[in-house]
Structure 1
Amino acid sequence: MKTQLVLGAAVVTLFASNLLTGCKSGEDEKKKGADSTQVAEKKAGPGDPIKYDSSKRYIFLTWDDAPQPPGTNVCKQVFQEQGVKATFFMVGMHQLDHRRKLIVDSLRNAYPQFLIANHSYTHGFRNNYRSFYAHADSAVNDFLKAQEELKIPVKIIRLPGNNNWVSKGEIRGPKTPREVCKRLDSLGFKVVGWDLEWRFKGNSTPIQSADEMVAEVNNKFDNFTSYEPNAVVILAHDRMFAGKQYADSLRKFISVLKQDPRNVFETIDHYPMVQK
């Protein structure tokens, strides 16, 4: 009888222990799940800084005047095929119809592969740069209108028609837009220029071949002639690559650069000057 009582007590103790362990395990799983949710919530967004690797060469593909279908769509497809990041500098008046707004939305929602940034609303009063920069109030308002209507997630601008760099009171580049640069800087915007351009003739025909562009990129890195060391900003325009032969040239350009393990493609919110 005594033995039976001892065994019974042991069973009860074991049951209680398992019950407590089960509860604790459930609590741990809940806590683990909560921690996972917190990690997911901390996912990097536009403008969040990254850590640089000094052994790498950072390439920033920045395409101006978007959205310009079919060029914008073609470039997007090539970048997706190649698995590289790129930035599209948007012009507000280019998204007036529903079809183009869908392109802007698709790019905005594709971060971190793609980033949209500000290239003014009217493209410098429709390419009349002298008048645009001579009227600083109107020019700044033009950028602010583009920022709002395009729902641009970062305060990064490229000036139409001028290769200027602006950050925290430091202004480099042509003097014509200087007053506009000062005002944009006071509003917390960074202005980003470019190190080399994939030029075009006529309205949209690329001048350099893919191999020539690769050579220019390597020359910038090898001779340390870019604005920031170990970082090269490339300017091109969406409409240049609408045709198949030019899309193939863009595809080849990226493919060759990818063969060098040092090369990393990033969006312009991760450019060193912008992160400072």
Structure 2
Amino acid sequence: MRTQKTVTSSILFAAIMGMLASCGGRDKKDKAAADSTKPVVVAPAGPGTPMKLDSTKRYIYLTFDDGPQPPGTNMCKAVFHEQGVKATFFLVGMHQFDHRRKLIVDSLHNSYPEFLTANHSYSHGFKNNYRNFYTHADSAVKDFLRAGEELKIPVKIIRLPGNNNWVHKGEIRGPKIPLAVCKKLDSLGYDVIGWDVEWGFKGNSTPIQSAEKMAQEVNTKFENYTSYTPNTVVILAHDRMFASAQYADSLRRFITILKQDPRNVFETIDHYPMVQQK
């Protein structure tokens, strides 16, 4: 027969165990609630990942050729980062010839989605000997493939040296001289990107247009629907043009003017409409 003392002890033990279970349950609930308030970290998509474009926006693709070319490449990067805009650097394989320039290329690779690297050949068209370069189509294609491998280009996007051609899935537009090269690159699954507006230079690197003039040219392309793809403008410039503080400031003003229109969005060339058509 159980004594009153035994019964009381049993009741007390059960009560204590219930309290512990209840506290444990609350701890789990509290931990779950705390975990639910933590921000969800989403890894950025890699180069070439498609994105949905907004039909109410105007897309601007800043593309800069011939890098790495310090100090111009570094100055362009600094301006773009300061202004909070994206850009694409079409690199030349033979320009990555020392440790310092390799570090610049690595920095660009590691900066996606802010910056994208793309292919502008290894030899820059046999060192600007364009007719010879495009006449020998097999050698030219090998030149591009070498650049892609040595520069570790993450996307199959090319800009031809010296020629404004566009290539995607059998559709080829632009000058006829590189036609054989365009066909071979197309068969290998490459997209070739030209440009709508060029920021020209005189001598070796001095910009011709002012920031205001360049912004006007971009707006005219949008308003007149004369770009290669409506609602998009691809801008061509060269890294070395903005090596000095004076011309870097011109680049800064150009971007500042374009940012005043809320419709304008700066994107990397892997998000150009044609490229995203799989």
Q: Quick check: TM above 0.5?
A: yes
For the structure 1 residues 155 and 31, does the alpha-carbon distance in structure 2 shift closer, same or farther, using more than 3 Å as the test?
A: farther
Q: CA deviation at 1:8?
A: 3.7
Provide the aligned length of Structure 1 versus Structure 2: 272
Q: Deviations over 1:167-217 (max 9, x none)?
A: 111111111111111111111111100001001111111111111001000
1:9 alignment partner, SS class: helix
Q: CA deviation at 1:77?
A: 1.1
Hey, what does 1:12 align to over in structure 2? 17
In 1, are the aligned partners of 2:242 and 2:248 still within 8 Å (CA)? yes
Q: How does 1:252-263 map to 2 (within 5 A)?
A: 252-263=253-264
Hey, what does 2:227 align to over in structure 1? 226
Hey, what does 1:269 align to over in structure 2? 270
Q: Deviations over 1:86-139 (max 9, x none)?
A: 111000000111111111111111111111100000000100111111111100
Q: CA deviation at 1:15?
A: 2.4
Hey, what does 2:46 align to over in structure 1? 45
In 1, are the aligned partners of 2:44 and 2:113 still within 8 Å (CA)? no
Q: How does 1:1-276 map to 2 (within 5 A)?
A: 1=4, 5-19=10-24, 22=27, 40=42, 42-276=43-277
User: Whole-Å Cα distance in 2 between the matches of residues 211 and 7 of structure 1?
Assistant: 84
Q: Deviations over 1:23-79 (max 9, x none)?
A: 6776x589979x95xx64x52111111111111111000000001111111111111
User: Whole-Å Cα distance in 1 between the matches of residues 183 and 110 of structure 2?
Assistant: 31
Aligned CA RMSD, in angstroms, stands at: 2.3
In 1, are the aligned partners of 2:79 and 2:252 still within 8 Å (CA)? yes
User: Whole-Å Cα distance in 2 between the matches of residues 238 and 249 of structure 1?
Assistant: 13
2:236 alignment partner, SS class: strand
User: Whole-Å Cα distance in 2 between the matches of residues 169 and 256 of structure 1?
Assistant: 37
Q: CA deviation at 1:82?
A: 0.8
Q: CA deviation at 1:262?
A: 0.8
Structure 2, unmatched stretches of 5+, are none
User: Whole-Å Cα distance in 1 between the matches of residues 50 and 72 of structure 2?
Assistant: 30
Q: CA deviation at 1:21?
A: 5.7
TM-score for the superposition, normalised by structure 1: 0.92
User: Whole-Å Cα distance in 2 between the matches of residues 213 and 68 of structure 1?
Assistant: 22
User: Whole-Å Cα distance in 2 between the matches of residues 202 and 146 of structure 1?
Assistant: 27
Q: Deviations over 1:237-268 (max 9, x none)?
A: 11111122211111100011111111111111
- Rg: which structure is higher? 2
1:44 alignment partner, SS class: coil
1:274 alignment partner, SS class: helix
User: Whole-Å Cα distance in 2 between the matches of residues 170 and 14 of structure 1?
Assistant: 74
Q: Which consecutive segments of 4 or more residues in structure 1 shift more than 2 A? A: 1-26, 28-33
User: Whole-Å Cα distance in 2 between the matches of residues 76 and 101 of structure 1?
Assistant: 15
Matching residue's letter, 2:156? K
Q: CA deviation at 1:11?
A: 3.2
User: Whole-Å Cα distance in 2 between the matches of residues 210 and 85 of structure 1?
Assistant: 18
Matching residue's letter, 1:250? L
Structure 1, unmatched stretches of 5+, are none
